Amino acid sequence: MLIRLFIGFDQREAVAFHTFCQSVLEQTSQPVSFTPLVLKSLPGYTETHTDGSNAFIYSRFLTPYLCGFEGWAIFADGDMICRADIAELWALRDASKAVQVVKHDYQTKATMKYLGNKNQNYPRKNWSSLVLWNCGHPKHRILTPEFLMGQTGAFLHRFSWLDDSEIGSLPKEWNWLTTEYEDNYDAKLLHYTLGTPCFKDYHDADMADVWHACHQRAEQGMGV
């Protein structure tokens, strides 16, 4: 079965997107389709929000719409490294849930993150950074471009159109927040949520060695 993977794309950290794709390809045992969420390519959607720290902060919620409200898909932020077979994550699909996420419950260690963006605490912080979407769930049909353009970040990132019982849990190892959590080289997916090591301020951040090694392998493959 083809695994549909939608990835947040921001030109300011384009290298992070490509490095994440490299990490997925190195581990996967099943075919994967990669869809970068490039704003200008999204039909009927214009980003009207002004409170985002990256270009895909709201477009991630178009995933069911882009899939024709059918089947399953994964959304992932671009500032990640996959260290296990993504087919393992795909195998966790639960048809009784509308979405499945890692239900983080933490207070951030940093008030600022990459590119000078404020890093605030809020309910369900980082739940939407890795989502296993049941795109065919009927409640997702409201997630049209027009609807999303009129919603607040609080409504969307807290999955407020769903009942809590419809939000399933994933193991924390599938969205391990580097620096925010202790180092974990056994984690299945590392999330450099404060700043990808491609930025000079985070070049030597916690577990940056994993990111740099994968980036180097990607460059070698391109003959750079």
- The domain limits of the chain are 3-221
Amino acid letter at 139? Answer: K
Q: What is the pLDDT of residues 71-101, one digit of tens each?
A: 999 999 999 999 999 999 999 999 999 999 9
Write out the two tokens for 54. 């990256």
Round to whole Å and give the CA distance between 80 and 85.
Answer: 14
- Pairing status of strand 3-8 against strand 72-76: parallel
Asked whether the beta carbons of 40 and 11 are under 8 A apart, the reply is no
Asked whether residue 24 carries a pLDDT value surpassing 90, the answer given is yes
Half-sphere exposure of 25 (CA within 13 A, CB side): 13
Using 50, 70 and 90 to split pLDDT, how confident is the model at 111? low
Secondary structure (H, E, C), 2-40: CEEEEEECCHHHHHHHHHHHHHHHHHCCCCEEEEEECHH
Select from 3.60.20.30, 3.90.550.10, 3.40.50.2300, 3.30.470.10 the CATH code of 3-221.
3.90.550.10
Q: What is the pLDDT of residue 112?
A: 58
Q: What is the pLDDT of residues 28-67, one digit of tens each?
A: 999 999 999 998 999 898 888 776 566 688 999 999 999 9
Q: What is the pLDDT of residues 129-146, one digit of tens each?
A: 999 999 999 999 999 999
